[in-house]
């Protein structure tokens, strides 16, 4: 007898569970139909948005070298969707069997109310999961902002040194690859939602007939169903709409950031190319054996003796000017590389006697006059270095008549 009672109790519990599941689908069916209509409109909007994003993705493909890996990720996503489809088909088969069992009895509607309340609790939990997903998306936004900060720092590094350009370009490509991967993951998520929506539409079509048969026995639960439908509609539709809107907003912002970043990098690249062109020309000038390099200038000593004025013109014809000495190091460099040959430098007091100025009109500050110089012996208004009578290797300047024929040292300042 106890065994019979136990088996009966088990059978009653099984019937209650089956009826609960059936009534749950019957109650949610109108909600699903309404949700499907709204999702269709939202799907069209998402398709339009996805079309635009696809065009933008095609434009970014020229700068992203890892699209092959992204294709493999999409294939993996399709495999997962196929597995989910098989699970949903298996679930529909089980629901069909449960429908046949539910048709034998409608006496457990009161218990079904409790099941609906439990369903509402589950939907609340799903809302919490959606909020957690929103938190994750916020974290991703922070990562994108951090990436933008890194890009700004890379720009400053590019301006300070051309040698770091290759490393920074790789970092920017990595950042673009990450952004593209995140965009594709969002697109994959939208694709999964669309597939799930299609599955629900198919399931709703099959359950429509069952709903019509059970409507006669659900008159007592109408008010409760309406309340649960309102709650479920608000929770589901609001969360999904916000997620989709947030996804589109983030994708648009990411696209704008990438376009702005690419524009800036293109301008910086052009500047660096211009700088490299100039430096290449200067390097070619340096390669000439008669020119000597020191710090940011190159120096050349003429082989023909001319007046100070003619020597200045000759230097300008070489895109240079007569030598301007600004430091002891430069004076030592001139002495070491051009020996003891007397040569014109770009120093004169021809405008105002006793007021020595360089050819760029700057005032003389650092002086290396030989002992007893300048003496204006013969109305000497121009200066030479490596004066033969100098008693020092550093203090070698002297004033000479500007018409006196002497070789000259030209200096060209590099950019």
- Quick: pLDDT tens for 124-141: 678 788 577 666 756 676
pLDDT of residue 334: 95
Mean per-residue pLDDT, 1-24: 86
* Residue 224 pLDDT grade (very low, low, confident, very high; cuts 50, 70, 90): confident
Please indicate whether residue 364 or residue 179 has the higher confidence score (pLDDT). 364
pLDDT of residue 53: 83
Q: Is the pTM of the predicted complex or chain greater than 0.85?
A: no
| pLDDT of 179 strictly over 50 | no
The Cα 372–Cα 380 span in angstroms is 13
Check residue 370 and report its DSSP letter. P
In 3-state terms, what secondary structure has residue 365? coil
pLDDT of residue 377: 87
| pLDDT of 172 strictly over 50 | no
Please indicate whether residue 128 or residue 92 has the higher confidence score (pLDDT). 128
Q: Are strands 382-385 and 398-400 parallel, antiparallel or unpaired?
A: antiparallel
The length of the chain, given as a count of residues: 415
Mean per-residue pLDDT, 367-374: 95
In 3-state terms, what secondary structure has residue 347? strand
Query: Is there a contact between 92 and 203 (Cβ–Cβ < 8 Å)?
Result: yes
319 sits in the region (left: phi over 0; alpha: psi -120 to 50; else beta) called left
Q: What is the mean pLDDT of the chain?
A: 79
| pLDDT of 158 strictly over 60 | no
| pLDDT of 284 strictly over 60 | no
* Residue 320 pLDDT grade (very low, low, confident, very high; cuts 50, 70, 90): very high
The Cα 279–Cα 415 span in angstroms is 8
| pLDDT of 161 strictly over 60 | no
Query: Is there a contact between 214 and 26 (Cβ–Cβ < 8 Å)?
Result: yes
Q: From the CB of residue 399, how many other CB atoms can be counted at a distance below 10 Å? A: 24
Please indicate whether residue 357 or residue 3 has the higher confidence score (pLDDT). 357
The Cα 98–Cα 111 span in angstroms is 17
Q: Which of 275-284, 296-305, 337-346 has the lowest mean pLDDT?
A: 275-284
pLDDT of residue 185: 65
Q: Which of 10-14, 38-42, 227-231 has the lowest mean pLDDT?
A: 227-231
pLDDT of residue 171: 55
Domains of the chain (ranges, CATH numbers): 2-281 (no CATH), 291-413 (3.10.100.10)
Query: Is there a contact between 303 and 343 (Cβ–Cβ < 8 Å)?
Result: no
Four-CA torsion 140, 144, 150, 154, nearest 10 degrees? 140
Q: Which of 235-244, 253-262, 352-361, 406-415 has the lowest mean pLDDT?
A: 235-244
The DSSP annotation for 71-106 comes to HHHHHHHHHHHHHHHHHHHHHHHHHHHHHHHHTT--
Strand-pairing partners, residue 166, are none
| pLDDT of 276 strictly over 50 | yes
* Residue 118 pLDDT grade (very low, low, confident, very high; cuts 50, 70, 90): confident
| pLDDT of 248 strictly over 70 | yes
* Residue 3 pLDDT grade (very low, low, confident, very high; cuts 50, 70, 90): confident
Q: Are strands 291-294 and 407-413 parallel, antiparallel or unpaired?
A: unpaired
Q: Are strands 407-413 and 297-301 parallel, antiparallel or unpaired?
A: antiparallel
* Residue 387 pLDDT grade (very low, low, confident, very high; cuts 50, 70, 90): very high
pLDDT of residue 166: 45
Query: Is there a contact between 387 and 370 (Cβ–Cβ < 8 Å)?
Result: yes
| pLDDT of 326 strictly over 70 | yes
Q: Scanning the structure block, which residue is given the tokens 């635009």?
A: 52
> C-alpha distances in angstroms, 121 versus 26, 45, 125, 153, 161?
18, 31, 6, 49, 60
Rg of the Cα atoms in the chain: 43
Residues of the chain with pLDDT > 70, as a percent, come to 69
């Amino acid at each position: 007898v106890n065994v019979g009672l136990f088996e009966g109790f088990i059978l009653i519990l099984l019937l209650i569970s089956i009826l609960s599941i059936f009534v749950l689908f019957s109650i949610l069916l109108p909600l699903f139909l309404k949700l499907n209509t709204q999702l269709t409109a939202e799907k069209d909007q998402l398709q339009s948005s996805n079309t635009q994003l696809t065009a933008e993705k095609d434009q970014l493909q020229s700068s992203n070298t890892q699209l092959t890996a992204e294709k493999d990720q999409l294939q993996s996503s399709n495999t997962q969707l196929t597995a989910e489809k098989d699970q949903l088909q298996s679930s529909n088969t089980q629901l069909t069997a449960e429908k046949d069992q539910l048709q034998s009895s409608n006496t457990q509607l009161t218990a079904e109310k409790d099941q609906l309340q439990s369903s509402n609790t589950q939907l609340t939990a799903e809302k919490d999961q959606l909020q957690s997903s929103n938190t994750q998306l916020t974290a991703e936004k922070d990562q994108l902002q951090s990436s933008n900060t890194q890009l700004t720092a890379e720009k400053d590094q590019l301006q300070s040194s051309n040698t770091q350009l290759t490393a920074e370009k790789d970092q920017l490509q990595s950042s673009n690859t990450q952004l593209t991967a995140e965009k594709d993951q969002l697109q994959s998520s939208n694709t999964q939602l669309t597939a799930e929506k299609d599955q629900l539409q198919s399931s709703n079509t099959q359950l429509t007939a069952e709903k019509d048969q059970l409507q006669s026995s659900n008159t007592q639960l109408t008010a409760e169903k309406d309340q649960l439908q309102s709650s479920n509609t608000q929770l589901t539709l609001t969360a999904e709409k916000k997620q989709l809107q947030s996804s589109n907003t983030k994708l648009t912002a990411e696209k704008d950031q990438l376009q702005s970043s690419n524009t800036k990098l293109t301008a910086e690249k052009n500047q660096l190319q211009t700088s490299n062109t100039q430096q290449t020309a200067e390097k070619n000038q340096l390669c000439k054996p008669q020119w000597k390099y020191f710090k940011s200038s190159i120096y050349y000593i003429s082989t023909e003796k001319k007046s100070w004025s003619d020597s200045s013109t000759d230097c300008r014809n070489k895109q240079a000017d007569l030598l301007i000495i600004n430091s002891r190091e430069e004076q030592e460099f001139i002495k070491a590389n051009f020996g003891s040959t007397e040569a014109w430098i770009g120093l004169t007091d021809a405008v105002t006697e006793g007021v020595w100025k360089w050819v760029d009109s700057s005032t003389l500050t650092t002086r290396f006059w030989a002992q007893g110089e300048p003496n204006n012996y013969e109305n000497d208004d121009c200066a030479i270095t490596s004066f033969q009578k100098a008693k020092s290797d550093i203090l070698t300047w002297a004033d000479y008549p500007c018409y006196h024929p002497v070789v000259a040292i030209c200096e060209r300042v590099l950019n």
